[in-house]
Amino acid sequence: MKINIQSIDFTVRTELHDFVEKKVQKFMRLCDDIISIDVKFKISKAADQTNKCCGMRLIIPGYDLLSNTKSSSFEEAVAKAVASLEKQIAKRKTRNRQLEVANSGHPLQQL
């Protein structure tokens, strides 16, 4: 799995880079067909304290999963984005299992 981290108009600290890599490693347990993950950081021009934005794109065969979050710190935004993508992966697995059962040709379903 390849991890691409980009920041817009600032440089990412090594602590933040390591934090992202640690959090993103969770996805390998949940989904084994991940090609890569794109993480983008941006500071928005909002007047409030929640101006740190994190966007994640999980690239998997078929379609990509996306999550964009805002928070008061980048670490918190990353945690929210990871939680959102974990929910999306769980939904995808459930839907795929349902499709497999529907297409399995189970004898009871042919009646």
| pLDDT tens per residue, range 6-59 | 998 888 899 999 999 999 988 888 888 889 999 999 998 877 778 899 999 999
Q: ∠ CA 48-53-54 to the nearest 5 degrees?
A: 155
Which pTM does this prediction carry?
0.83
- Give the whole-angstrom CA distance, residue 63 versus residue 78: 21
Kindly indicate the confidence band of residue 108, based on its pLDDT and cuts at 50, 70 and 90. Answer: low
66-86 per-position pLDDT tens digit: 999 999 999 999 999 999 999
Which position has the higher pLDDT, 102 or 80? 80
Q: Given a cut of 80, is residue 106 above it in pLDDT?
A: no
Specify the pLDDT at position 111.
46
> What letter represents residue 6's amino acid?
Q
- Give the whole-angstrom CA distance, residue 53 versus residue 15: 17
- Give the whole-angstrom CA distance, residue 36 versus residue 21: 12
- Give the whole-angstrom CA distance, residue 37 versus residue 71: 20
Q: Given a cut of 60, is residue 5 above it in pLDDT?
A: yes
Q: Given a cut of 70, is residue 105 above it in pLDDT?
A: no
Residue 52 vs residues 41, 44, 96: alpha-carbon distances, Å: 7, 6, 34
CB contact at 8 A, 67 and 11:
no
Cβ within 8 Å of residue 89, ≥6 positions away: 27, 30, 31, 58, 65
